[in-house]
Structure 1
C-alpha cells in the first residue's frame, strides 16, 4: 500500500497538546511500518487552519492521488485533514474515484463501507460545529462590545491613548490628525501629506516616518469623527457603524468632505486634482473624445501660460489645436450666460429646445436613486435578522423594525413602478436651473483657481469643446456640450 502521510499543525497550543509535526511523524511512520505498507511521501502543512482546502501540501497530495501514485491517505486524526463536512465529502469523492482509501491512526474509520462513511461524516460534522460555535461566541462578544461603543482593539490608534479600556484623545497626536485632513482637503495627495508631516517632524505613534498608506488609513477611518465601524473586512453583510462611540478629533462634516474629495480623486488622476489647471480632466475633445491635458508654456519676458491639449495629439491621432485656459474661461462663462438668458427670456420652453436637458434630468436618474435605496434597505434587513438571531434584538423590536422596512420597501417599489410607466419626456424646473446658473456666474469671479477646479470636479463630468479659426481670438472656441455629474 503506497501511503501518503498527511500532517498539519496550526498553533502553538496544538504543539503543546501533542500534535507537533515531529510527534505526528513518529507515530504515523510507526503505524505504516506495523501494517507493512510503503511511504509514498510526507505532505506537511505548518501553521495553517483546516477551515478550508486552500493548503499547499494538501493540494499537492490530491494531485498525486489523481495521478494514481497513492493507495491510502493516512492522518493522525480526522481534524488534521479537515473540519468541514463539505470539504470532507469532496475529498472522499476524489479518493473513491481514484481507488484511494482513507485511514486515521488514532480513530477507527473504514471508508469502504456505508456505516464507516456515515460515522466519518458525523465526526467531521461535530468538528465543524465546534469550530463555528467558538467563532460565533467570539464574534458575538466583539459585536456586542461594538454596539455598546467599546474599543475592541488591543493598542490605541494614532490620535488616542487607551485608559481604563476607553479611548482618550492624545492632543499632540490629534494636532497631526487635524493637519492631515486640512492638507488633504486643500489639495494635497496622501503621499504629499506624508512628506509634509515628515518634514515637520510630525511622526507616527512609534516615532516612524509616515507612508502614504498610513496617511490614507487615517483619512478614511470614521473613528476620527467619533464613529465606530464593525465588520467592514469580514462578515461584511452584517457590517454596521455606531456614531458617537468615541471622542471625535474632527467634525463629521470635515470627514465627509474628505471622503467626497477622495471619491472624486478616484475618477481623476492625482495631478489633475492637485494641479492649478482648472479644467484638467474635464475638457473633452469633440474630434476624438479624449480628455485634454494641462500644458504650461512660457515666452521670454512673459508669465507662465496655462493651455490644454488633446492627449491623442501627442500620438498624432488627433489634430485639435492647443487652446489657452483664458479662452476656455471666456467661453465657459459665455455659455453659462447664454443658458441664463434662455431660461430668463423664454416663457415656455419647447421640447426640441431642451433635448440635451431631457437626458440630463430623465427619470432614469430617479430610478437609479430608488434602486440604490432598495439595495440599502435589503442590507439593513439582513442586519436586523443577524441582530435578532444573535439575541441583540428581542422579538418585538425585530418585528417593529422589519415592519417598518417592509413598508418602506413597498413604497419604493411603487414609486419605481410609476417611474417605469412615465414617458421619456420630463418637465424641467427652469427656475431651479436658472438659480443654479446665476449663482455659478455670480460666484465664479470670486473663486481661486483651486476653488474653481474643485467646484467643477464636484458638479461637471465633461465639457466638450471644438477649436475654430474665425472671429476674435477669445471666441475661437466653441463649447458644444456640458455634462453635469449625477
Structure 2
C-alpha cells in the first residue's frame, strides 16, 4: 500500500469495462464504479478521471477501444500516475493484449494496481504476479470458449437453430427449432414455403432457368426476405440497403441448398476450421424433386455452352509460362474481316498478374492447338499401349503400400489407446500420493508429446490412404472411361463428348513464349501434359504417342531451346529443361519475375549473389550461367576477378572471405596494387584450375 504522503500527490485514473450488452443492462459497470469509489476512500486516493468502455470486448487491443484510446493519450501526456482496475481481465481477455497494455502504460510511467487481486506493478513481485494472472485470464477465456463450442455443437446436433440468417421458407419456433413458414406473405396469398415450392416446380418439373424464375417472381411482386422484414440496418459485410428483387443468383442458392430437402449443415458458412454437423430439419420439397432440380441446373449450363457463339475445347487447360496465368478463348478479326479464334493469355491485360504489366506471351490459334490435342487424345483412346501396363504396375505397388499403411495404422491406434491408459495410471499414482505434482506434470507432458506425435503420424497415414483411394478410383474410372469412349466415338463426335474426353485425358497445356535476337516476332513452344503417365518431351520429330504423354512439338511455331552463347539463353535453357515457369523460378530464388524475364532477354546483368540463387534452383554451375569460361586470365587481376565470379561473390562478399576491405579487392582487380604473400595464399583457394 502506498503511504499517505505520496498518495495525496498521485494522479489516479480508473479503467472500467464490460464486454456485452447484457452486462450493460445488468449495470455491472455500476458495480465496478461503486467498488472503485469505496476503494479510493479506504486508501485515501483522489480519482482524477474515469475511463469507461461499456459493452466493449476485451479481445481487441486497448488502443482500439474508445476509453482505452483516451487512457493511453492521457498517460502519454502525464495526466495520470496510477491506474486502478477492478480485475486484470478488464484490461484484456488474452495474455498478449494484457501484457502489451501494461507494457505501454508503464512506458509512460503509469503504475497499474488491481483492486481485487494482490499485485501492483510498482514492485518486481507484483509484475511477476501480473504475468501469471494474465496467463490465467487467457486460460479462463479459452476454457469458456471451448465450453461454448462444445455446448453449441451439442445443441446443434439436437437440431436447434443457433443464430444466423434463417433460410427463406423457414422460421424459428419458440423452442429454437426450424419449422416451415406457411404464413401468408404481405400483400400476397402465397407463403414463403409456397414460394420455395414454386421455384423448385418451375425448375425441376418445367425446366425453366434461374433467370426466368427470377423474372416471374419479380413480375408477381413476391417480396424477398429483405423486403418482407424491412431490413435496412444490417450487420457484418452485408450492404445497408438492398434492392429487394429476386436475382438469378438468389434462385440458384435456394436450389442448391440441401436444407430444403431436409438436411441442414451447421457450421458450413463459418470462416473458422470447425466440424460440419449435419442434422435433419423439416423438408419443403422431397429428395427426388431436389435432385431433379440439380440436374436441370447442370443441363442449363451445358445448354448455355452449346448456344455460345464460339466454343473452346481447351477452356481452362492452357497456362502461360511467362506469368503463370490462364489462356482464354477470344475472337480476333482475320483475313477478309472474318473472325478467327485464338487462345490469349489473360496477363495481356495491363497490370494484371505478377509481371505488373502486359504479358509478352504469344497468342495461339484455336484450330491449330485443338486439332493437335484432339488427335493425340484419339491416338491415346485407340492405342493406349503401355499406359495401361504402367497403370496396372502402379496400382500393384500402391496396393502393397496400402497394406503396410493399414497395418501401421492399427498399431498407432493401439499405441494411442495405451497412452490414455498410461495417463490414467499416472493420475492414480498422484491421487495415492505415490508421486509428487512435479513428477505428475513431467510425465503428463511427456505422454502428451508422445500422443501428439502418434496422432500426427495417424493423420499423415490417413491422408496417404485417402490419396491412394482417390488415385485408384480415378484410375479405375479412367480405364472404364477409355473403353466407354472408344464405343461412343464415331466419325463426327459432338463438342460435349470431345470436351469430356479432353478434360479427362489432358492435365495441362504449357505455353512457352520465346524471343530471338534476329526476329522481332515471338515464337511459342507448346508442351501438353496428359494424365496417368510420366512426363516425356519429344523434340525434332513426332514420335508414336501411344502413352499419351507430354508432347513438345517442333513446328513453325515452336523453335528449339535457346542457344548457350549468352547468360540469358543459358538461364532460360536450364529453366525449360527443369520444366519450370518464371513464376516457379521466382518462388525458388526470391528474384522477381520481371527481373528474371529481363535477364533471360539479356536486357540486364545478373548479380553474382543472384547467380548463386539461380545455380542452386536450376542445378547448374554458376560459371555456366554467367558464361565465365570465356573470361580472360592473362594477368593476376583478371584471375582474381574470374575466381570471384566463378564462386558467385560480389566484391563486398569476396573481401569478407579474404579478410580485406572491398576497396582492396577493387585495387587488385584493377591491378593498382598486388596482394601480399599472406593474402595470396587465401586467394589461391579460389583460383580456377
TM over 0.5: yes
**Cα distance 1:168–1:12, how it changes in 2: closer, same or farther (>3 A)?**
closer
2:168 corresponds in structure 1 to 158
CA distance in 1, matches of 2:161, 2:463: 42
CA deviations on 1:304-349 (whole Å, 9 max, x unpaired) are 967223236785824445334xx65554442222123322xx5x67
1:172 aligns with 2:172: no
Q: Report the alpha carbon displacement of residue 224 of structure 1 after superposing the two structures with TM.
A: 3.8
1:317 aligns with 2:360: yes
Q: Report the alpha carbon displacement of residue 56 of structure 1 after superposing the two structures with TM.
A: 1.1
2:461 corresponds in structure 1 to 413
**Cα distance 1:237–1:481, how it changes in 2: closer, same or farther (>3 A)?**
closer
1:481 aligns with 2:501: no
- The answer on whether the counterparts of 2:172 and 2:179 sit within 8 Å (CA) in structure 1 is yes
CA distance in 2, matches of 1:200, 1:361: 62
1:35 corresponds in structure 2 to 45
Structure 2 counterpart SS, 1:335: helix
Unaligned runs of 5+ in 1: 386-405, 421-425, 468-476
CA deviations on 1:409-440 (whole Å, 9 max, x unpaired) are 769839959x99xxxxx99x999756533534
1:471 corresponds in structure 2 to none
CA deviations on 1:125-153 (whole Å, 9 max, x unpaired) are 88778766765665444322322334444
CA distance in 2, matches of 1:129, 1:286: 50
2:265 corresponds in structure 1 to 229
Instruction: Give the 5 Å matches for 1:61-460.
Output: 61-62=71-72, 65=75, 70-75=80-85, 80-84=90-94, 87-88=97-98, 91-92=101-102, 95=105, 99-103=109-113, 110-112=120-122, 138-153=148-163, 156-162=166-172, 165-168=177-180, 171-175=193-197, 178=200, 198=218, 203-207=223-227, 208-210=244-246, 218=254, 221-232=257-268, 236=272, 238-242=274-278, 244-247=280-283, 249=285, 251=287, 254=291, 277-279=311-313, 281-284=315-318, 291-296=326-331, 307-311=341-345, 317-320=360-363, 322-324=365-367, 330-343=371-384, 346=385, 413=461, 435-440=480-485, 443=488, 449=495, 460=506
Q: TM-score, normalised by structure 1?
A: 0.56
Q: In the comparison of the two structures, how many residue pairs are matched?
A: 414
- The answer on whether the counterparts of 1:285 and 1:310 sit within 8 Å (CA) in structure 2 is no
Structure 2 counterpart SS, 1:35: coil
When the two chains are superposed, the root-mean-square deviation of aligned CA atoms in Å is: 6.6
**Cα distance 1:55–1:197, how it changes in 2: closer, same or farther (>3 A)?**
farther
Q: Report the alpha carbon displacement of residue 228 of structure 1 after superposing the two structures with TM.
A: 3.1
CA deviations on 1:159-197 (whole Å, 9 max, x unpaired) are 3344673433764232366489879x9998xx9997786
**Which has the larger share of strand?**
1
CA distance in 2, matches of 1:212, 1:451: 28
Which of residues 11, 15, 35 is equivalent to 1:6?
15
1:394 corresponds in structure 2 to none
Q: TM-score, normalised by structure 2?
A: 0.43
Q: Report the alpha carbon displacement of residue 158 of structure 1 after superposing the two structures with TM.
A: 1.1
**Cα distance 1:460–1:335, how it changes in 2: closer, same or farther (>3 A)?**
closer
CA distance in 2, matches of 1:198, 1:28: 62
**Cα distance 1:181–1:332, how it changes in 2: closer, same or farther (>3 A)?**
farther
User: Which one has a bigger Cα radius of gyration?
Assistant: 2
Q: Report the alpha carbon displacement of residue 82 of structure 1 after superposing the two structures with TM.
A: 3.5
**Cα distance 1:415–1:276, how it changes in 2: closer, same or farther (>3 A)?**
same
CA deviations on 1:449-479 (whole Å, 9 max, x unpaired) are 5686577567754345899xxxxxxxxx998
**Cα distance 1:114–1:18, how it changes in 2: closer, same or farther (>3 A)?**
farther
CA deviations on 1:54-108 (whole Å, 9 max, x unpaired) are 6613366457657877522234665543355665455445555654212457888
- The answer on whether the counterparts of 1:226 and 1:248 sit within 8 Å (CA) in structure 2 is yes
- The answer on whether the counterparts of 2:320 and 2:326 sit within 8 Å (CA) in structure 1 is no
Moved more, 88-97 or 46-55: 88-97
